[in-house]
C-alpha cells in the first residue's frame, strides 16, 4: 500500500489556494443538464472519481458529453432526460450522489432494464428509502443479488408516474434530492413528501436552488411537501453554468493556518451561495480564526485578538462532511470538545465516527464515542509521546476525508524540529473528490 509521510511546516503557511469545483454542484449540474432540453457548458467543474463516474454513466445512457479536464469544463447535450438503450450496466463506485441521482433518473424510462453496482463500501450504503418509494410508485421493479435494499441490483423500469411519493430520507438527504430533481418529469402532478426528518439539510436547499437555476421549481412547498405540476422538462436558457469551488475541500485550508500559523487566500471562496459547508468558517471562528472576503476570495488567518472560550459542543448535522476536519485537529485544542449530529456518517465512505475515534486513539487521545457523537479530550503530551520515535500510520478506510483531515494535522511542527510524525496510508483515496490535494498542500509550504 502506498503511504505518504507528512512533513510538518516549519514556517507559517502562506499562499493562494485554487480549490477544485464542488462535487455536489458538478454532479447535480450534470443530472439537471441531462434532464434539460438544451446544450450547456459547465465551467469550473470538478474532475475526480465521483464526477468521472457520473460522466461515464451519462455517456453509457447515450448522452453526449465532452469533458475538458484541462479547462475544467464539460459540454453536455441535454435530451430532456431521454435515455438511449434498454439494457445498461452502471457502476457507481463509491459516489453517493451518482448512486442516488442516477437511480432516480433511470426510473423515468419506461420498459428498460438496468443493472447497478458499486464499490464494496457502496454495497452497504443506504438506498432503501429511494428504492422503496420508486417501487411503491410502480416506477421500478427491483431484483437484489445480495441483501434487499442494497447494491447490487437490477431494476426493470416502468417510468415515473405522478402522485404522492412518500420518502424516508432519514439516512441520506441525497435520497430526497434525487427524487426532487426527477419529480418535474413524472407523468403527472407529483408531490414529494418526507415521512420524517432528513440529515444534511443545506444540500436540499442546494438542490432546490439549482433546479430553479435550471428553470424548474415546485409549484408550492408546505411542511416538507413539494408539489410539482407534472409533464415538465428543465430549460437552461443559458450557454454556460459556473460551478462554485468546493466548500468542503476548503475546510482543510481554513484549518491549516490554525495548525501552522500564517494566512491563506482561498480563491473564489468569498461569495459561496449554494454550499452549506461554507458554515465551517463559523467553527473556525470559534477556534480563533478570522475570515475576510477580499474581492471574490476568502482570506483566512488567526484573529489578532485572543480567542474567547471555545464552545464545548458543535452540532455538525447540517455540515457533517466537515466534522472530520475539526475532529482531526482537536488534539491541538486545550479543552475537550463534543461533536454531535453525525450518526448518519457511520454509513458513508466508512463508519466515519468510528474511524476518527480509532485513529485519534492511536495518537494517544481520549475519545468517547456514542451513536451520534464523539467527545475528544485533547492531550498534547500524549500526542508527543505517541509520535516521539516514529510517525504514526493513519489508516484511511478508503475515505478521502480521513486522509485529508489527518494530512492537515500532520502539518503542525509538533516536535519543534520539523520531524515528521504522521504517515497517511493510501493517500490516493483523496481522488474521490480532490485528486491533487497533497500537491496543493505541499505548495503552501514556504521554502
Ligand X SMILES: O=C(O)C1=C[C@@H](OP(=O)(O)O)[C@@H](O)[C@H](O)C1
Ligand Y SMILES: C=C(OP(=O)(O)O)C(=O)O
Residues 6+ apart with CB under 8 A from 438: 4, 407, 427, 430
Tell me: does residue 51 bind ligand X (CB under 6 A). no
Residues making up the binding site for phosphoenolpyruvate:
23, 96, 125, 174, 352, 401, 432
In whole angstroms, the minimum distance from the beta carbon of 388 to ligand X comes to: 36
DSSP for 302-369? E-SSPP-PPPSEEE-GGGGGGHHHHHHHGGGSSS-EEEES-GGGGGSSS-HHHHHHHHHHHTT-EEEE
Is 321 a residue of the active site?
Answer: yes
**Calpha distance 340→323 (Å, rounded):** 9
Residues making up the binding site:
23-24, 28, 96, 125, 172-174, 200, 321, 348, 352, 401, 432
Tell me: does residue 276 bind ligand X (CB under 6 A). no
Helix (H) / strand (E) containing 155:
strand 153-157
In whole angstroms, the minimum distance from the beta carbon of 317 to ligand X comes to: 9
Task: Judge whether 41 and 73 are in contact, CB under 8 Å.
Answer: yes
**Which of ligand Y, ligand X, none has residue 190 at its interface (CB below 5 to 8 Å by kind)?**
none
Kindly name the residue from 277, 321, 395, 399 that is annotated as catalytic. Answer: 321
Q: How far is CA 258 from the centre of its chain?
A: 23
The only residue of 17, 134, 180, 199 in contact with ligand X, by rule CB under 6 A? 199
Tell me: does residue 170 bind ligand X (CB under 6 A). no
Tell me: does residue 94 bind ligand X (CB under 6 A). no
The length of the chain in residues reads 447
Residue 420 buriedness (CB in 10 A; 0-12 / 13-18 / 19+): middle
In whole angstroms, the minimum distance from the beta carbon of 290 to ligand Y comes to: 26
The only residue of 200, 325, 375, 396 in contact with ligand X, by rule CB under 6 A? 200
For residue 270, give Cα distances in angstroms to 44, 134, 278, 318. 16, 39, 10, 20
In whole angstroms, the minimum distance from the beta carbon of 146 to ligand Y comes to: 19
Tell me: does residue 24 bind ligand X (CB under 6 A). yes
Residues 6+ apart with CB under 8 A from 247: 22, 269, 272, 275, 276, 277, 278, 280
Count residues binding ligand X (CB under 6 A): 13
In whole angstroms, the minimum distance from the beta carbon of 263 to ligand X comes to: 28
Which residues of the chain form contacts with ligand Y (CB under 6 A)? 94-97, 321, 348, 401, 433
**Which of ligand Y, ligand X, none has residue 151 at its interface (CB below 5 to 8 Å by kind)?**
none
Tell me: does residue 78 bind ligand X (CB under 6 A). no
Number of Cβ atoms within 10 Å of the Cβ of 18:
12
Cell matching residue 214: 435550471
Question: What is the separation, in whole angstroms, between the first and last Cα of the chain?
Answer: 29
**Which of ligand X, ligand Y, none has residue 158 at its interface (CB below 5 to 8 Å by kind)?**
none
**Which of ligand Y, ligand X, none has residue 142 at its interface (CB below 5 to 8 Å by kind)?**
none
State the Rg of the chain over Cα: 22
The only residue of 36, 97, 317, 350 in contact with ligand X, by rule CB under 6 A? 97
The only residue of 26, 94, 157, 174 in contact with ligand X, by rule CB under 6 A? 174
Tell me the catalytic residues.
321
Q: Which residues in this chain contact ligand X in the complex, by CB under 6 A?
A: 24, 96-97, 172-174, 177, 199-200, 203, 320-321, 344
Amino acid at each position: 500500500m502506498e503511504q505518504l509521510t507528512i512533513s510538518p511546516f516549519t514556517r507559517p503557511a502562506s499562499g493562494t489556494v485554487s480549490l477544485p469545483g464542488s462535487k455536489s454542484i458538478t454532479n447535480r449540474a450534470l443530472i439537471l443538464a441531462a434532464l434539460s432540453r438544451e446544450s450547456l457548458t459547465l465551467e469550473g467543474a470538478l474532475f475526480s472519481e465521483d464526477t468521472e463516474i457520473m460522466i461515464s454513466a451519462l455517456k453509457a445512457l447515450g448522452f453526449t458529453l465532452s469533458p475538458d479536464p484541462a479547462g475544467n469544463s464539460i459540454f453536455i447535450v441535454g435530451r430532456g432526460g431521454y435515455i438511449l438503450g434498454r439494457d445498461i450496466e452502471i457502476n457507481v463506485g463509491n459516489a453517493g450522489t451518482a448512486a442516488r441521482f442516477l437511480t432516480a433518473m433511470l426510473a423515468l424510462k419506461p420498459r428498460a432494464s438496468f443493472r447497478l453496482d458499486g464499490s464494496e463500501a457502496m454495497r452497504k450504503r443506504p438506498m432503501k428509502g429511494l428504492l422503496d418509494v420508486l417501487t411503491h410508485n410502480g416506477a421500478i421493479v427491483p431484483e437484489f443479488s445480495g441483501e434487499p435494499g442494497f447494491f447490487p441490483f437490477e431494476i426493470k423500469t416502468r417510468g415515473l408516474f405522478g402522485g404522492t411519493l412518500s420518502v424516508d430520507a432519514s439516512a441520506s438527504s441525497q435520497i430526497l434530492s434525487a427524487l426532487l430533481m426527477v419529480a418535474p418529469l413524472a407523468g403527472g402532478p407529483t408531490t414529494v413528501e418526507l415521512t420524517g426528518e432528513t440529515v444534511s439539510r443545506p444540500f436540499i436547499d442546494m438542490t432546490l436552488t439549482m433546479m430553479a437555476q435550471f428553470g424548474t421549481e415546485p409549484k408550492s412547498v408546505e411542511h416538507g411537501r413539494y408539489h410539482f405540476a407534472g409533464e415538465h422538462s428543465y430549460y437552461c436558457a443559458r450557454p454556460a453554468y459556473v460551478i462554485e469551488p468546493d466548500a468542503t475541500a476548503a475546510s482543510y485550508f481554513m484549518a491549516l493556518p490554525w495548525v501552522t500559523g500564517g494566512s491563506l487566500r482561498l480563491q473564489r471562496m468569498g461569495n459561496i451561495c449554494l454550499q452549506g459547508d461554507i458554515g465551517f468558517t463559523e467553527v473556525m471562528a470559534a477556534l480563533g480564526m478570522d475570515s475576510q472576503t477580499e474581492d471574490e476570495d476568502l482570506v483566512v488567518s488567526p484573529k489578532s485578538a485572543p480567542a474567547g472560550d471555545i464552545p464545548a459542543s458543535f452540532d455538525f448535522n447540517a455540515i457533517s462532511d466537515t466534522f472530520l476536519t475539526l475532529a482531526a485537529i482537536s488534539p491541538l485544542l486545550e479543552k475537550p470538545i463534543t461533536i454531535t449530529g453525525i450518526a448518519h456518517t457511520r454509513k458513508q465512505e466508512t463508519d466515519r465516527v468510528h474511524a476518527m475515534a480509532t485513529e485519534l486513539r492511536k495518537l494517544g487521545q481520549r475519545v468517547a464515542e456514542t451513536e451520534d457523537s464523539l467527545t475528544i479530550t485533547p492531550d498534547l503530551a500524549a500526542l508527543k509521546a505517541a509520535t516521539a520515535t516514529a510517525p504514526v500510520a493513519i489508516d484511511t478506510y478508503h475515505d478521502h476525508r480521513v486522509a485529508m483531515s489527518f494530512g492537515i494535522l500532520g502539518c503542525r511542527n509538533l516536535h519543534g524540529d520539523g520531524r515528521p510524525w504522521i504517515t497517511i496510508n493510501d493517500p490516493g483515496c483523496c481522488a474521490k473528490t480532490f485528486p491533487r490535494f497533497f500537491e496543493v498542500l505541499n505548495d503552501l509550504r514556504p521554502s
